[in-house]
Amino acid sequence: MKSVSKSLFLFLAFLTIGVSVVGCLKSTRPGLPKPVQNALNHAALNQPSLLKSLLLYENPEDSIKRRALYFLIEQLPEHYTVYVSFKDSAGKPIDYDPQKFASDDEIKSYLDSITLIRGPLEYQADSFKMDLQEISYTILANTVDLSFEAWRNNPWSLQYSFDEYCHYILPYRAANEPLINFRAHFISLYRDSINGLDEPEEVASHLNRMINKTIVFDDRLHRNPNAQHFDELENSHKGNSFDLALYKTYTLRSLGIGAAITYCPYFSDSTGGVFLASLILPGGKQKLLPNDTRLNPFPFNKTPKIYRRSFTRVPESLYSIKNSSDFTPPFLGHFQYTDITSDLLPTRDTVLQVNDENKEKFYYLAVYNDNEWKAIDWAQPDTLGNLVFSQLGVGQRYCLAKKSNREIIPLASPFTIK
């Protein structure tokens, strides 16, 4: 009975705060933008935190910060944190320390031996947390205040428009990592090292060199299911390409420089893929920040597709088009992204025809990676069964496939785009 009374009390307290804040907002302005209202209506018990953050920027001199906060709240329904584990066919976790192996080849042999006993191994999502219901007042307030200060008070940031600031400096996350307040840490760690620099490309190159000297890429870690926290990276001085891309994106955004994560999900006829932080310059031009300047991060002979994560909704992405009940492959239907393959590689488009008795809603192009076919692009069939795949890296071997439960099923013989 006590627990019921306590729950009722908390609910009424939240409701009272929400009504009070809405009343204050309405007293100073006709109303909130409709997308912000829609987000608030679905925020459940997190609504008071969002409303409290809106009250921070009610004064006329805070109008730009208020617009920035509106932008963040409008995007909240699109974003979430996912916690992933590596499991066998029975759903039991595969626990191993990759740093106890001499090389990734040794790890692969070890995992192959486990597969013979425990069946196929795969990444499985254990839980999700939606930003709309989870993000705190503190993260929203710190994100707006610190990003705005960096954008307006650094010489290298002044050329970014408000729209570019919103898309590439302001975002509080870069992927589906846990929500954290990262900006104060990176400002404290790196701001003094870039005094005297004026251009965003100059600053980004300097920071990239600094980070590459202190945190090195370790190929043995590329199968880790979740990103390392920046404290872990700074203590171990080792990370996979995603860890490094996330860390560098945080660093640049914290210092008022546009950044996003660019990636090839799977290399063709190889293993793994690669993630890189991208510097986004004023005007939208992109510069990759390699983890090792001696290597080409996107080798011509094995890179089929290159995507860039987007904080905002991309209407043509599979994540925007599919229904929540549609089971889609990793990297294609799990978040917003933009296809930028033709910006970085020679590409061609191709049209395939599917002769499948049980017409699927989506079909995929797959590449052979780590001893199995993995989807790297998708298309919807037209009324004649034609599938249009765009911006395919040339020189790669592809296979038309469909998704069945958790498997990618080849539908035809592999072919090469020349």
Q: Which two tokens stand for residue 190?
A: 């790196």
What is the residue range of 339's domain? 324-418
- Strands (E) in 245-322, as ranges, are 258-264, 274-280, 286-289, 307-309
| Pair of tokens at residue 193 | 């090292």
CB burial of residue 10 (10 Å; 0-12, 13-18, 19+) = exposed
- Cα 260 to its chain centre, rounded Å, is 8
Whether 411 maps to a domain, the answer reads yes
Q: Is residue 106 part of a domain?
A: no
Per-residue pLDDT tens digits for 254-284: 999 999 999 999 999 998 899 999 999 999 9
CATH classification at residue 366: 2.60.40
Task: Among 35, 60, 85, identify where a domain stops.
Answer: 60
Q: Which of 347, 348, 221 is nearest to 275 (CA)?
A: 221
Contacts 24+ apart (CB under 8 A), 36-41: 36/70, 36/73, 36/74, 38/77, 39/73, 39/74, 39/76, 39/77, 39/132, 40/73
| Residue 130 in tokens | 């939606």
**Secondary structure element (H or E) that encloses residue 19, with its range:** helix 2-28
Q: Point out the least confidently predicted range of 22-26, 92-96, 232-236, 290-294.
A: 22-26
Residue 157 or 292, more confident: 157
Q: What is the pLDDT of residue 1?
A: 44
Q: CB–CB of 376/367 below 8 Å?
A: yes
Tens digits of residue pLDDT in 362-390:
999 999 998 899 999 999 999 888 999 99
Instruction: Name the β-bridge partners of 216.
Output: 238
Specify if 295 maps to a domain.
Answer: no
User: What are the backbone angles phi and psi of residue 152, rounded to the nearest 5°?
Assistant: -90, -15
Domain endpoint, select from 23, 44, 60: 60
Is 318 within the bounds of a domain? no
The single residue listed with the structure tokens 């990734």 is 104
Taking a C-beta distance cutoff of 8 angstroms, is the pair 93, 122 a contact? no
DSSP letters along 76-142, please?
Answer: GGG-EEEEEEEE-TTS-B----GGGSSSHHHHHHHHHHHHHHH---EEEEEEEEEHHHH--HHHHHH
Confidence class for position 293, pLDDT limits 50, 70, 90: low
Of 130, 149, 143, 166, the closest CA to residue 250 belongs to 143
Q: Please measure the distance between the N-terminal and C-terminal CA atoms of the chain and give it in whole angstroms.
A: 71
Question: Is residue 355, in this structure, part of any structural domain at all?
Answer: yes
Mean pLDDT over 388-413 rounds to 93
What letters, b where the CB count within 10 A reaches 16 and e where it falls short, cover 301-334?
ebbbbbbbbbbeebeebbbebbeeeeebbebbbb
Residue 367 lies in a domain: yes
Q: How many domains would you assign to the chain?
A: 2
Q: From the CA atom positions of the chain, what is the Rg in Å?
A: 23
Q: Is the pLDDT of residue 19 over 60?
A: no
The CA–CA distances, whole Å, from 112 to 105, 118, 242, 371 equal 10, 10, 24, 10
> What sign has the CA pseudo-torsion 216, 276, 97, 229?
positive
Q: Is residue 292 part of a domain?
A: no
- To the nearest whole percent, how much of the chain has pLDDT over 70? 92
Residue 111 lies in a domain: no
The whole-angstrom separation of Cα 309 and Cα 330 is: 13
Say yes or no to pLDDT of 123 above 60: yes
Most confident of 25-34, 164-173, 298-307: 164-173
Q: Show which of 40, 60, 80 is a domain's final residue.
A: 60
